Structure 1
Amino acid sequence: MSTAHADPLPTALHTAAAVREMDRRSIEEHGIPGYTLMTRAGEASVAALLAHWPLATRISVVCGGGNNAGDGYVIARLLRASGRSVRVGTLAHPGRLAGDAAQAWRDAVAAGVSVATFEAAQLDDAHVIVDALLGTGLERAVTGDWAAAIDAVNAAHARGVAVLAVDIPSGLHADSGAVLGTAVTADLTVSFIGLKLGLFVGDGPGHSGAVVFADLGAPAAVRAAAPVAAERYTGADRGVLLAPRPRAAHKGDHGHVLVVGGDSGYAGAARMTGEAAARVGAGLVSVATRAAHAGAIAAARPELMIRGIEAPDELDPLLARASVLALGPGLGQHAWGRALFEYACGVAQPLVLDADALNLLAQTPRRRTDWVLTPHPGEAARLLGTTTAAIQADRLGSARALVARYGGVAVLKGAGSVVAQADAPPALILAGNPGMGSGGMGDVLTGTIAGLLAQGLAPAAAARLGAWLHATAGDLAAADGGQRGLLATDLLPHLRRLANP
């Protein structure tokens, strides 16, 4: 069980190539010896290990053949100096190591560290396993003895042995987060110099455990100049974006959301969208839906203004007052929904598109700069003319492609939702949980973003904050009663509290 609280992580995420360049510049341009950086990496790893598992006395370090192994040898030396029992199992002959890694091995042996060819049995009585097998340069599937070693580490982890990964879990691609054949499942990963993108996308979160960051004293100028692949969005600007309202504020100051959707049998989708918009602070919310639904929605949530419509021009009185449109929840793809979609896409107000509005957009592509698209991977695949698997294999690239083709802002939903815009790195929303994979969650997200837009937030800011509010509300709701059985409407009271920082 972890007992330490990790320091706040940087928001910037980098590719492996960008981090290698930071490392190179620190050494060559700023005169920090490579072995100094390696020693600092070992020190940071040992500090994290002892903070998380202070009672651990038997540590097994599994080393490969590069600088990641060098970090492992430094860790072994420092742990032995602290009085712990340490064994190193290696899959690469130490005599073939070069440079700083070779020096780390020599220093470890000189300090009395036991080094032997790796055998799975060395893991049997360990309290903690240190994974220093493979680093960020891995580009192909792990096979043979290396795969067997990773599987042995995972088998020990399944028996309850704690695992610390050095820089990145072995077998995980540092950029995409893909598992290359097999990958270590760690409880804790200590990432150096720059946070690797792969720890937070794809399969990364499921293999990295808690992430601790150590900049190793790399110059701030070096880190600031590094290209950013993505940003972790943490809602840190929530207090500014959702500042307290003036005492004299009234409902007309906070925008008017018009929800367009709810074909026959789908009244609930439109209602949840409208209610979410109201719960995050929209001053007024109207719902344009099938006439047969109007009475039921109004009875269930009388604060929403319901208008039954059967023809697109019946939207005109509502459009005259609306500041934002939420288009698509329960819209359907039949004649009624298609007509409303075409009409609504031509309005002057900004839009949030979801569900069948996205499916209709895929059939009749167009561009706008002031809309927010909120597809799940299947809808994104239709919008981009590809497969869901291709979307999931490159979620950041897919979100950027949506913006390139359709304009505006794209929120690619899923585990680790991605918010992309044209002029900034994508934002990752790392809150949320599997219980949110249930009907209506997307409708609530659409209303949340629309409600923020109505209050004057720019589309990108509304999309980022809305996705974060939605995901965080999901986590709070799951904490109340568990992930199984989590309903979209369970998020609503938490959305209200989160929208009042």
Structure 2
Amino acid sequence: MSERVPTYTADQVRAAERPLIDAGVPLMHRAAAALADVVRAELATPDTVLTLTGVLEPVIRESPVALRPRVLVLAGSGDNGGDALYAAARLTGVADVDVLLVSERFHETALAAAVAAGVRRVDLPEVDDDLRHYALVVDGIVGIGSSADSALRGRARGVVTAIRDDLRRGGRMPRLIAVDLPSGLHPDTGAADDAVLAASVTVTFGAVKAGLATGRGPELCGDVVLVDIGLGSALQSVEPAGAASVSRIVTVWQDA
């Protein structure tokens, strides 16, 4: 059952996060823990893939032998990449996890934690060859960012375009979980160009971003899971940008 919640702009969310970050509250670890829990739950559901048209279809296995699922993490240079990498470190007990870095810059501490936990670094040619073998892809390329233009650039755009083109050649897309919002989607307006991967689930942190409920947001975000990381009191006095439906709300800060 869905629940109606307020939405907020990127600036409003950043302002709510700032006092907690300045106080040393581990928002990234809270987000990563919740993200890993959602991924585990997705891996436990019946095997399906998301086609280019947005339709879930059963996976046809090449062998009846049960194998550990494979997860691909696309990690960018910012906090979203850190969230995804820390989540990857938490997933190696239930899946074989690969990470593809889409920038020369990345969260070094989070990557070190992921590699120490058994995560394997891969590059785009390997992903192109093996995409159909992944049970799930985690899109942690970019979140609310700081630029007025949300379009992906450089290596990040090349990776997303390569995966998109594979789908257009008739490939199958594993289920995709977007970290905070689908990378390339504007957090306020929901604007996006063609270099965006549609998610089956979006795990959004602190508050639902306005762009998930407007423009191309509803088309690209799939089911929205809201993770309460402790921004509620800071947002109480803020006028919401709008409202959106979420499939569920997960609270992590009370036990952190």
TM-score w.r.t. length of structure 2: 0.76
Would the alpha carbon gap of residues 83 and 233 (structure 1) be closer, same or farther in structure 2, given more than 3 Å must change?
Answer: closer
Q: Which consecutive residues of structure 2, in runs of 5 or more, have no partner in the other structure?
A: 48-68, 247-256
CA-to-aligned-CA distance 1:34-81 (integer Å, 9 cap, x gap): xx211111111121222233157210001111111101101110111x
Residues 18 and 227 in structure 1, CA contact (< 8 A), matched pair in contact too:
no
2:152 maps to 1:139:
no
Name the residue aligned to 2:60. Answer: none
2:234 maps to 1:226:
no
2:58 maps to 1:58:
no
User: Once the 2 structures are TM-superposed, how far is the Cα of residue 17 of structure 1 from its aligned partner?
Assistant: 1.0
Match of 1:130 among 111, 129, 138: 138
C-alpha distance in 2 between matches for 1:191 and 1:233: 12
What amino acid is the match of 1:24?
R
Name the residue aligned to 2:204. Answer: 191
Residues 132 and 173 in structure 2, CA contact (< 8 A), matched pair in contact too:
no
**Identical pairs, percent:** 30
Bigger Cα Rg: 1
Point out which structure has higher relative CO (alpha carbons under 8 A, 6+ apart): 2
Would the alpha carbon gap of residues 227 and 144 (structure 1) be closer, same or farther in structure 2, given more than 3 Å must change?
Answer: same
Residues 191 and 213 in structure 1, CA contact (< 8 A), matched pair in contact too:
yes
User: Once the 2 structures are TM-superposed, how far is the Cα of residue 189 of structure 1 from its aligned partner?
Assistant: 0.2
Residues 9 and 212 in structure 1, CA contact (< 8 A), matched pair in contact too:
no
Name the residue aligned to 1:75. Answer: 87
SS of residue paired to 1:44: helix
What amino acid is the match of 1:210?
D
Residues 199 and 205 in structure 1, CA contact (< 8 A), matched pair in contact too:
yes
Match of 2:28 among 38, 48, 51: 38
Would the alpha carbon gap of residues 118 and 227 (structure 1) be closer, same or farther in structure 2, given more than 3 Å must change?
Answer: farther
User: Once the 2 structures are TM-superposed, how far is the Cα of residue 25 of structure 1 from its aligned partner?
Assistant: 2.0
SS of residue paired to 2:122: strand
C-alpha distance in 2 between matches for 1:74 and 1:192: 15
Match of 2:225 among 212, 219, 223: 212
Structure with the largest fraction of helix? 1
Name the residue aligned to 2:38. Answer: 48
Structure with the largest fraction of strand? 2
Would the alpha carbon gap of residues 189 and 155 (structure 1) be closer, same or farther in structure 2, given more than 3 Å must change?
Answer: farther
Would the alpha carbon gap of residues 233 and 20 (structure 1) be closer, same or farther in structure 2, given more than 3 Å must change?
Answer: same
Name the residue aligned to 2:117. Answer: 111
User: Once the 2 structures are TM-superposed, how far is the Cα of residue 153 of structure 1 from its aligned partner?
Assistant: 3.6
SS of residue paired to 1:11: strand
Name the residue aligned to 1:87. Answer: 98
After TM superposition, list the pairs within 5 Å mapping 1:315-354 onto structure 2: none
CA-to-aligned-CA distance 1:176-197 (integer Å, 9 cap, x gap): 0010452121100000001100
Residues 192 and 215 in structure 1, CA contact (< 8 A), matched pair in contact too:
yes
CA-to-aligned-CA distance 1:100-136 (integer Å, 9 cap, x gap): x332122112222112344442523100000011111
SS of residue paired to 1:134: coil
After TM superposition, list the pairs within 5 Å mapping 1:210-359 onto structure 2: 210-216=223-229, 218-232=230-244
TM-score w.r.t. length of structure 1: 0.40
User: Once the 2 structures are TM-superposed, how far is the Cα of residue 14 of structure 1 from its aligned partner?
Assistant: 0.3
Would the alpha carbon gap of residues 178 and 147 (structure 1) be closer, same or farther in structure 2, given more than 3 Å must change?
Answer: same
2:6 maps to 1:12:
yes
C-alpha distance in 1 between matches for 2:140 and 2:245: 29
Name the residue aligned to 1:176. Answer: 189
Would the alpha carbon gap of residues 115 and 10 (structure 1) be closer, same or farther in structure 2, given more than 3 Å must change?
Answer: farther
After TM superposition, list the pairs within 5 Å mapping 1:370-385 onto structure 2: none
Name the residue aligned to 1:21. Answer: 15
Aligned length: 217
C-alpha distance in 2 between matches for 1:75 and 1:84: 12
Name the residue aligned to 2:180. Answer: 167
SS of residue paired to 1:148: helix
C-alpha distance in 2 between matches for 1:46 and 1:226: 30
What amino acid is the match of 1:203?
R
SS of residue paired to 1:12: strand
C-alpha distance in 2 between matches for 1:154 and 1:41: 27
Residues 22 and 226 in structure 1, CA contact (< 8 A), matched pair in contact too:
no
User: Once the 2 structures are TM-superposed, how far is the Cα of residue 148 of structure 1 from its aligned partner?
Assistant: 2.5
C-alpha distance in 2 between matches for 1:219 and 1:90: 29
C-alpha distance in 2 between matches for 1:214 and 1:143: 28
Would the alpha carbon gap of residues 102 and 225 (structure 1) be closer, same or farther in structure 2, given more than 3 Å must change?
Answer: farther
Would the alpha carbon gap of residues 219 and 161 (structure 1) be closer, same or farther in structure 2, given more than 3 Å must change?
Answer: closer
Would the alpha carbon gap of residues 139 and 49 (structure 1) be closer, same or farther in structure 2, given more than 3 Å must change?
Answer: same
